[in-house]
A = this chain, B = another copy of it.
Amino acid sequence: MSAPLKVALLGCGTVGGAVLRLLDQQAEDLAARIGRPVEVAGVAVRRPDRHPEVPAHLLTTDAHGLVTRPDVDLVVEVIGGIEPVRSLLLAAFEAGKSVVSANKALLADDGSALHHAAAKAGVDLYYEASVAGAIPLLRPLRESLAGDQLRRVVGIVNGTTNYILSRMAETGAGFTEALAEATELGYAEADPTADVDGFDAAAKAAILASLAFHTEVTAADVYREGISAVTATDVARAAEIGCTVKLLAICERVAPAGEDAEGGDSVAVRVHPAMIPTTHPLAAVGGAFNAVFVEAEAAGQLMFYGQGAGGEPTASAVLGDLVAVARNRAAGVAGPGVTTYAGLPARPIAETPTRYHVSLDVADKPGVLATVAQEFARNGVSIATVRQDGHGDAATLVIVTHSAPDAALSRTVTALREMPAVRAVTSILRVEGLS
């Protein structure tokens, strides 16, 4: 058997620890699948004294020295964050090393600089673990669906927010209460901002959109709304219309319409809470699971489901990439790079077609519905359904619109708030997945 494949590991937290364990447990199988054994060349950490489980001679604080060491073939990066990781990976590429990364933030911040550096060096950059943990998703998008035209990718890609929203639905709790429970149980971090405000999902959406549409999409192109404004009322209203609330990452290829009909397609990428019908396949995705729904021209609807986080599932994705890189090296090639030939423009949220659910408390007298309906019409928003429930001298209107540019919907809601007949706008959420 050939000389071992030497792996430098950057970072040794939950995922890094699992990678080391699996490399050990599956050593024989990996060697058989790759054609040569895998050997850990070194593990770069900040505090070597905190890693008694790693043989001392492997530990180093000199990450740069490790990734450029002549005997290292492959760098596995599970540190996360932008710097110093970006510099380390660029140094690794320059030194001719392939990289397997789980770093969504870095890939979404400026993936194309990394791809270019890898391509220039003739090495691989794989990052299946960066989105939806163990679920094979990036390789299917890059390769299996490479002969198809993707229309939409819609996913539940953040376990923390999915857990919180699931608990809100189950218990009727508000956001703050459900977040407190999630924190206590370890489903949310001490500082939950990245999850709760949608930054994590937005980074993943950027990565998915880039691959799906062969276009450079960064986190800055993604419209982002978190779940902290979702109320118990929103969740209750959703249930009343046969829906459930989920934080969705939505990547769409949008055809030009109206005045733009002359132009080409654009790409709309957004992360926000939305009501989806309980019959939609994504509605049943509970707790910390992830799922991604894909619509392609020829393949039709596909769904990928599995564990979106955790040490072992993420490590499984890392090792899958490791095997791929090793096989490429054995063949003396780099795998197919990422193509961005389509270069589709990003569509701002204001011009992106969406649908709204709006619940209003209104005075219960004749003509109120007409006044409200007029306001929608004035903004060019067509109403799909209205339900009117009287209670005492007040009534509730529950309105679901047809698809319209987000700005038009947003203007309508602003106007409704100022209408004398409207006592309160009690719930507004976008709606997805209705036919």
Contacts and interface: CB of A to CB of B under 8 A. Distances in A.
A324 B128 CA distance: 18
Contact of A144 (B33, B317, B331, B336): B317
A136 interface: yes
Contacts of A317: 144, 299
Contact of A316 (B147, B319, B324, B334): B147
A299 B306 contact: yes
A371 interface: no
B341 A33 contact: yes
Interface string A277-320: 00001001000000000001111111111110010110111111
Contacts of A299: 133-134, 306-307, 312-313, 316-317
A415 interface: no
Nearest to A144: B136
Contact of A296 (B139, B297, B316, B331): B316
A62 interface: no
A382 interface: no
Contacts of A327: 336
A322 interface: yes
The number of chain A residues touching the other chain, given as a range, is 35 or more
- Most chain B CB atoms below 10 A, which of A298, A303, A333: A298
Contacts of A149: 26, 29
Contacts of A140: 136, 139-140, 144
A434 interface: no
A423 interface: no
Contacts of A394: none
Interface string A142-162: 011111110000000000000
A155 to B, nearest CB: 13
Interface string A240-271: 00000000000000000000000000000000
A302 B136 contact: yes
A30 B306 contact: no
Interface of A: 18, 22, 26, 29-30, 32-33, 128, 133-136, 139-140, 143-149, 214, 281, 284, 296-307, 310, 312-313, 315-324, 327, 331-334, 336, 339, 341-342
User: Lowest 9 A-B CB distances belong to which pairs?
Assistant: A147-B319, A136-B144, A134-B299, A136-B140, A298-B316, A302-B306, A299-B316, A146-B323, A303-B305
